Structure 1
Amino acid sequence: MQLGMVAGEASGDLLAGLLMGGLKARWPTLQAAGIGGPDMVAQGFEAWWPSERLSVHGYAEALRVYRQLVALRTELGDRLLAQRPSAFIGIDAPDFNLGLEARLKAAGLKTIHFVCPSIWAWRGGRVHKLAASADHVLCLFPFEPALLAKAGVPASYVGHPLADAIPLDVPRAAARAALGLGDGETVVAVMPGSRRGEIRHIAPDFLRAARRLRTARPGLRCLLPVAPGLRAMVEAAVAEAGAQEAVELVDGRSHEVMAASDVVMVASGTATLEAALFKRPMVIGYRVHWLNWQVMRHMRYQPWVGLPNVLSEDFVVPELLQHAMTPDALATETLRWLDDPAACERIAGRFTELHFLLRRDTARAATDAIAQVIAG
């Protein structure tokens, strides 16, 4: 079995790495190649290009590298069409993958898109592009297949692989022991994102918020997990924010940091869902280039941005977006969680319900769907 695959950014690499476990269980001699990251490579994936090549922060940054991305997509498409794998699986990154999938599908290759674009949140017109690009869509959330069916797009709900990978019972004590943290210490996970653009635009205010937290609670510990290849950039941001005494950097180990934490201060994205699956109260913050913000705010269909709020259809955790994301606001909302244990217990209960909803043995369910597409 040969598959072409593309995963953009750390979150896509994580999802694809988990998916590959199911693929290899079905096809032990699986060969997969394309664009991917370290989680995929650890599963035997041949990365012709690293997934960080697709890591851009909003429209403004995408415009600056548009020509390079188009050239990369063309070269990758040429290579896949020359090798003609059994199928192509695009993991998220719809702005890159859907165009590639359309070309491959037109040339007779089976195409599967893993992670339904957020047509329920904004840019609903992409459903028509999705119909022209993918033979089948693997959906992470239960309400998505019905939406796609209205547009004639075949789809399957396979659950979220993170819900399988993250234990229902949070291993808090073990995580704290592994990180050298005491049981009675107050710990805040600081997670400003894993893209370079996020480190530039979001991390400074997160780091200043950490300074305010340490001033308010001198014994508090702020841990920031650093994605591979970003340590020098993060260290520079910490120094510029004067947060050397406020923040402790941890290489990777983001799941251990979340499991060990009392509250997570997190950039909007997949990490918010990870925090929810670890049953952690959180404060979501995000900022994009002003041009991106003008575009996005006029195209939103619902008031929520963070995945825990979207799935709960309620503001169960605070969202601080754009100008509202200030160090003072981030610190204030974080302290509000720390001062309200009853609210933390309630949110843990809601997140446990969400965990059961998303736990579906995703790797096996997705592999079954992929096998049917290939056989058809």
Structure 2
Amino acid sequence: MSFAAAIVAGEPSGDLLAARMLRGLQSHDPQVKAMGIGGPAMARAGFEAWHPMDALSVFGYVDALRQAPRLIRTWRDTRRRALDWRPDVFVGVDAPDFNLRLEEKLRAAGIPTVHFVGPSIWAWRFERIHQIRRAVSHMLVLFPFEVDLYREQGVPVTYVGHPLAELIPVQPDRAAARARLGLEPKARVLALMPGSRESEIRLLASRFLQAAQILISQDPDLQVVVPVVNPQRRAQFEAVLAQYPVPGCRILSALPASGQGIEAPAAGQGAAPARADGLDTSEWPVAWHAMEAADAVLVASGTATLEAALFKRPLVISYVITPWMRRIMAWKSGQDAPSLPWIGLPNILEREFVVPELLQEAATPQALAEHTWAALTDADLAARITQRFTALHETLSRDTPGLAAQAILETSRGHA
């Protein structure tokens, strides 16, 4: 009888993580049966979705309240299906508000549970550790500093490294990426990444575009590329771009046929040459092509900041939330601010401000432009960033699929 795993992943980064994990399980049992909630990368690994990944695409408490009826229906249906099926293990990939509640119910019913990606209790809501103890049979963490934290709290834990460190090349090929995108090989290129959620684009896109306008006034040949995750976010961003036009701004979309890939190069560019390292980039998220091609990245805080660091690019991190959301977060967490002085993953991992963070009122177009100009033009800064983030890449590089699969299989064998 084949191994059975129910899996829930709620956004693009979780989809990639879960797909790698699933392939690790398949190396032990090629007939693994995996069902639940997931995205295109998981589907290509043989996953059967009960609900699409977009069903969980909300951000924070405000969006969750707005989408509450749909989320509750999805949660209840997923719980019912998992309890009826009784898989060997349930794996929740990130999405802690959804998954921890689900894991608590399933574990109480005798189904072993694994949570992949430790919630950032080291920054917000440490009291969540009590729910984690009840809900999680085994925690898989992506960063080495998290091991002691969970172990000290009595939660079985395994450091599996970050799969992005395996998927992203240690030595990016900027020239090959520019050829794939049809970009000028010698021009400065800025990857503009205001986020993948509706609220992020609503609050950040206008600031980022105004910053880009300032930068283009300093360098008229600057090429700006904006990767978007789906047609809805593209339409939303295009509406903002119409208000704050940036000459030559290129919006990069996934190809509808495959759910991945990039738009064809501009007319006259011809076929893109092969990479020097022979790496297959056909299944890369569109944002990775933009980051590999770029000289610098202006990016919303989130997983994309770590991706930019692994591509060894100078980056500027920004984030803005509404006053209402800020009050709700403070009330829910009992904190006015994170426990750490940093919000960007590269800075958290390095324990210092390696790259600038411009948050809330500090995220003015002028300030964003000034810091991004330095990221685009300072050769010494670029060299320091490359050295620093190469060492980080090596730290995070582990056999993530194999380590995750081993921990999941051991948990399913009665370590609940």
TM-score w.r.t. length of structure 1: 0.96
Q: Would you say 1:257 and 2:295 are equivalent positions?
A: no
Counterpart-to-counterpart distance in 1, 2:28 and 2:212: 46
Cα distance in 2 for residues equivalent to 1:27 and 1:201: 45
Match of 1:209 among 188, 207, 211: 211
> How far, CA to CA, are the matches of 1:18 and 1:327 in structure 2?
38
TM-fit CA distance, 1:232: 2.1
- Give the structure 1 partner of residue 390 of structure 2: 352
Residue in structure 1 matched with residue 266 of structure 2 by the alignment: none
Deviates further, 120-129 or 193-202: 193-202
1:235 aligns with 2:273: no
Instruction: Report if aligned partners of 1:9, 1:55 keep a CA contact under 8 Å in 2.
Output: yes
Give the 3-state SS of the residue equivalent to 1:125 in structure 2: helix
Query: Counterpart of 1:140?
Result: 142
Match of 2:342 in 1: 304
In the alignment, the residues of structure 2 paired with residue 201 and residue 56 of structure 1 have an alpha-carbon distance, to the nearest angstrom, of: 15
Q: Please point out which of 347, 360, 368 is paired with 1:322.
A: 360
Q: How many Å separate the matches in 2 of 1:201 and 1:19?
A: 34
| Residue aligning to 2:276 | none
1:1-376 superposed matches below 5 A: 1-229=3-231, 230-243=233-246, 245-252=247-254, 253-294=286-327, 295-296=329-330, 298-376=336-414
DSSP 3-state at the match of 1:81: helix
Unpaired segments of 5 or more residues in structure 2?
255-285
- Matched to 1:269, the amino acid is G
> Helix, strand or coil for the counterpart of 1:298?
coil
Question: Cα deviations across residues 232-261 of structure 1 (Å, max 9, x unaligned)?
Answer: 222222213233x25211114211110110
Give the Cα–Cα distance (whole angstroms) in 2 for the partners of residues 33 and 137 of structure 1: 20
1:264-313 deviation digits (Å, cap 9, x = unpaired): 00000000000000000100011112122243561511110000000000
Partner SS, residue 166 of structure 2: helix
The separation in 2 between residues aligned to 1:18 and 1:218, in whole angstroms, is 41
Matched-pair contact (CA < 8 Å) for 1:86–1:109: yes
Q: Is the 8 A contact 2:55 2:74 kept in 1?
A: no
Question: In 1, distance between residues paired with 2:24 and 2:209?
Answer: 38
SS in 2 for 1:213: helix
Mapped to 2, the partners of 1:39 and 1:206 lie a distance apart of: 29
When normalised by structure 2's length, the TM-score is 0.87
State the Cα distance separating 1:17 from its structure 2 match: 2.0
Supply the distance in 1 between the matched residues of 2:64 and 2:312 (Cα, whole angstroms).
Answer: 34
- SS of the residue aligned with 2:92? strand
Task: Figure out how many residues of one structure are paired with residues of the other and give that number.
Answer: 375
- Asked whether the equivalents of residues 162 and 398 of structure 2 are also in contact (C-alpha less than 8 Å), the reply is yes
How many Å separate the matches in 2 of 1:52 and 1:30?
24
- C-alpha distance in structure 1 between counterparts of 2:211 and 2:33, whole Å: 45
Query: Which 5+ residue runs of structure 1 have no aligned equivalent?
Result: none
Query: Whole-Å Cα distance in 1 between the matches of residues 20 and 225 of structure 2?
Result: 25
**Amino acid of the structure 1 residue aligned with 2:224:** C
**Greater CA deviation, 44-53 or 163-172?**
44-53
Distance 2:158 2:237 in 1: 39
- Percent identity, aligned pairs only? 49
Q: Partner letter of residue 126 of structure 1? A: R
Render the CA deviation track for 1:141-197: whole Å, top value 9, x for unaligned. Answer: 001121111111000000000000011111212111111223311000011111122
